Amino acid sequence: MSLYDYLLTQDGIITKESLLYPFEERGLQFGDGVYEVIRIYQGSFDLLEEHIERLYRSAEAIRLEVPFAKDTLIASLGQLTEKNDVQTDAKLYLQVTRGSAPREHSFPDVPSNFYAYIEPSERPVSLLQKGVRTILADDIRWDLCYIKSLNLLPNILAKQTAKDKGAFEAILHKDGIVTEGSSSNVFIIKDHILFTHPAAKNILHGCVRSRVLALAPNTGLQVEETAFTTDQLLQADEVFITSTTSEIMPVIEIEGKQIGDGTPGDNTRALQRAYEKESGIQATAFA
């Protein structure tokens, strides 16, 4: 048995090797489903209710039933961490798909498939300290990116292009307006004002994004949920991206152009510290 070998399904907790999906699974054939990634710090979930709320919103938006009531799901995820004896920093992946049935585009009359599993996941401490390089890419996705759907081809292609160019993330823009990253939300700071794209239908409403917006006034920043252009992005005093596993990740370069003096800015650092405190992280990356 390896670390964290148990997963949760609609039929209870089983071992990973006993999960057998039929070849006609709608997640596999259509990407017909939704998912979540939830942070675990030292065995405890972070932002659990926020992620569960978003899961149900995503599922409802594609007329998909989650095969648990919310409180049952939260309790079962707790049992999963206990069964796996999770003590470390980790992440939980969960997905719901429209079940297994002979391949036809329209909905089958079968139950949803659900699974959730846990993997060890260390905080990217060195990158959080130094910051990351990014590229720009066209946002070629559909209109409903607030749905955390399994259809991630444009995101995957943008991320691979970033990786090929030695960058950590691709910052997406539509007609010159920055939307979000391939797997993150994007923020800029200009003259002590924090800007990020509004929580509209064309971006994912990140759980870390919400926490950052709540913490920002305490660090002396004014908050504006207003979209900005790629020019404003490149001219910003500070830039960072956020996600469950990347937390608040400073961006020090975009398309080879340095942001500020090329090191993480003071406001970003203050937010990173506030974030660690808020999520109950014990070992600080910013001593």
Please identify every residue annotated as catalytic.
148
Interface with ligand PSZ includes 209 (CB under 6 A)? yes
Residue 263's Cβ-count burial label (10 Å; 0-12, 13-18, 19+) is middle
240 vs 255: CA distance, rounded Å: 15
Closest distance to ligand PSZ from the beta carbon of 245 (Å): 4
Interface with ligand PSZ includes 274 (CB under 6 A)? no
Please answer whether residues 264 and 253 qualify as being in contact, where contact means their C-beta atoms are separated by less than 8 angstroms. Answer: no
Interface with ligand PSZ includes 245 (CB under 6 A)? yes
Q: Which is nearer to ligand PSZ, 104 or 119 (by Cβ)?
A: 119
Footprint (CB under 6 A) of ligand PSZ, residues 159-198? 180, 183-185
Q: Which is nearer to ligand PSZ, 133 or 209 (by Cβ)?
A: 209
List alpha helices for the chain, DSSP H: 26-30, 48-61, 70-83, 125-130, 153-164, 207-215, 230-234, 266-278
**Residue whose Cβ sits closest to ligand PSZ:** 206
Q: Which is nearer to ligand PSZ, 162 or 204 (by Cβ)?
A: 204
Torsion from C-alpha of 255, 257, 261, 262, nearest 10 degrees? 30
Interface with ligand PSZ includes 202 (CB under 6 A)? no
Interface with ligand PSZ includes 242 (CB under 6 A)? yes
Closest distance to ligand PSZ from the beta carbon of 192 (Å): 23
Using CB under 6 A, count the residues that bind ligand PSZ. Answer: 15
Interacting stretch for ligand PSZ, rule CB under 6 A, among 14-22, 71-79, 232-240, 241-249? 241-249
Interface with ligand PSZ includes 207 (CB under 6 A)? yes
Both tokens of residue 86?
């999770």
Please answer whether residues 233 and 169 qualify as being in contact, where contact means their C-beta atoms are separated by less than 8 angstroms. Answer: no
Give the per-residue contact string, 35-64, with ligand PSZ (x = CB under 6 A; - = no).
Answer: --x---------------------------
Rounded alpha-carbon distances, angstroms, from residue 142 to 63, 145, 161, 226 = 18, 7, 19, 21
Q: What are the DSSP calls for 15-59, one per residue?
A: EGGG----SSBHHHHH--EEEEEEEEETTEESSHHHHHHHHHHHH
Interacting stretch for ligand PSZ, rule CB under 6 A, among 20-28, 96-104, 224-232, 243-251? 243-251
Applying CB under 6 A, the residues found at the interface with ligand PSZ are 37, 155, 180, 183-185, 204, 206-209, 242-245
